[in-house]
Structure 1
Amino acid sequence: MRLFIGLAPSAPVRKAIATERDRLHAVLGGKPTSTANLHLTLAFIGQASVQTVQSLRQLIAGIDAPRFAIDLDIASDFKHGGIVWLGCSTPSPSLLVLADTLREALADGGVDFDPQPFAAHVTLLRKGTPVAETLGAAIHWPVDAVVLYVSESTSQGVRYRPLYRHALK
């Protein structure tokens, strides 16, 4: 199983992100991320066993973090692969603490994960034209849970399915 841990937007936030994705797609081209797959990754685990899922559930359940909010207010891109994303011009300190806490717990638990530095973003397009802009109005995202996802290949493309959800305080 291919796993990652992230944040899932509520339905209204997902709709607002999808609207921004569609606006950028019309201008920049590329392949849009499906609305159902919109998320913010905290840690990418990659291939893992069924036993690892149980360990990850316990590890995530042990995270003691408060609810917080982030504001997605910039659109930019990663030069490699033409990845166009939404992010925060000023990441929430609570988001950064949550990502650090999670990554420390993974390391302490002996769980391998992608060691690249955390970059708070929601992928909107692949193979899009480069962009750098401030959104007219930020998308306010109340964060209330951490989610363990499995990435599944289907005949319709990749699907990110939640396996476990841990509510924040």
Structure 2
Amino acid sequence: MWYRLMTNCTRNICTAAGKRVFLGFALTTEQTKQIEAIQSQLPENVRLVPSQNLHMTLAFFGYASNETIDALINNIDAMSKPHFTVHLDCIAHWKKPKILCLKGTASDPNLLSIANDSQTIAQKLKLHQSEYHYNPHITLSRKAKEAVDGICYTALTLQPNALHLFESFAGKDGVEYPILHSWHLT
């Protein structure tokens, strides 16, 4: 098992016993450029997600102890991780988290299987579980108060080769998402 063991101290709260973690898929350089082209058309009053943080989330788990992270990795090792394709073709505004995102529909049975298995593992390990049906998306911006119109873009097709366990923490220059562990899709 190869993940970074370190203590994150932010806002005077130490999380030596755990990390905020999620599963997701990284973007290629070309896909990142496509997202940046969309972001360049968004209103100035939104906070853009930095290029290095762009990803498609599979499952958010919340805080997990180092022991739980070990168990999470072991469970994902045993999980089927097939290749899939997803088309992200709609810019949406989600009111509650106040985000703009490029979203699609989880219609590929392989993606649905990975998403469902991830939630089963979360339940087994008593981690955060989504209350919603899986909705593939890439967050474009935060602090978005309303939907946007007139954005010119081409649908983005993702066919990732790897699944990643990311950590989320507040770094000196904002939120950072280092990869703790990776698995090849088969």
TM over 0.5: same fold? yes
Which aligned pairs between 1:19-58 and structure 2 lie closer than 5 A? 19-23=37-41, 25=42, 27=43, 29-58=45-74
Structure 1 residues 56 and 133: CA distance shift in structure 2, 3 A:
farther
Partner of 1:155: 172
Amino acid at match of 1:20: I
Superposition TM-score, scaled by structure 1 size:
0.87
Partner of 1:7: 25
Contact 1:70 1:143 in 2 (8 A): no
Contact 2:94 2:100 in 1 (8 A): yes
Looking at structure 1, the residues matched to 22 and 85 of structure 2 have their Cα atoms a distance apart, in angstroms, of 21
Q: Once the 2 structures are TM-superposed, how far is the Cα of residue 114 of structure 1 from its aligned partner?
A: 3.1
Superposition TM-score, scaled by structure 2 size:
0.80
Q: Deviations over 1:78-127 (max 9, x none)?
A: 0124210001156433222210122113323x231133212211111112
Partner of 1:119: 135
Contact 1:28 1:130 in 2 (8 A): no
Mean Cα deviation higher: 90-99 or 42-51? 90-99
Structure with max Cα Rg: 2
The question of 1:68 aligning with 2:84 is answered yes
Looking at structure 1, the residues matched to 27 and 184 of structure 2 have their Cα atoms a distance apart, in angstroms, of 13
Which aligned pairs between 1:86-125 and structure 2 lie closer than 5 A? 86-89=102-105, 91-108=107-124, 110-117=125-132, 118-125=134-141
Q: Deviations over 1:28-58 (max 9, x none)?
A: 6300001111112221111111112211111
Looking at structure 1, the residues matched to 88 and 49 of structure 2 have their Cα atoms a distance apart, in angstroms, of 17
Unaligned runs of 5+ in 2: 1-18
Q: Once the 2 structures are TM-superposed, how far is the Cα of residue 135 of structure 1 from its aligned partner?
A: 6.0
Question: Considering only aligned residues, what root-mean-square deviation do their CA atoms show, in Å?
Answer: 2.1
- The percent of aligned pairs where both chains have the same amino acid is 27
Structure 1 residues 105 and 89: CA distance shift in structure 2, 3 A:
closer
Looking at structure 2, the residues matched to 132 and 100 of structure 1 have their Cα atoms a distance apart, in angstroms, of 33
Q: Determine which structure has greater relative contact order: mean sequence separation of CA pairs < 8 Å that are 6+ residues apart, divided by chain length.
A: 1
Unaligned runs of 5+ in 1: none
Looking at structure 2, the residues matched to 167 and 57 of structure 1 have their Cα atoms a distance apart, in angstroms, of 13
The structure that is strand-richer by fraction is: 1
The structure that is helix-richer by fraction is: 1
Tell me, what secondary structure is at the counterpart of 2:139? strand
Partner of 2:6: none
Looking at structure 1, the residues matched to 108 and 149 of structure 2 have their Cα atoms a distance apart, in angstroms, of 20
Looking at structure 2, the residues matched to 57 and 7 of structure 1 have their Cα atoms a distance apart, in angstroms, of 16
The question of 1:16 aligning with 2:34 is answered yes
Q: Paired residues, what number?
A: 166
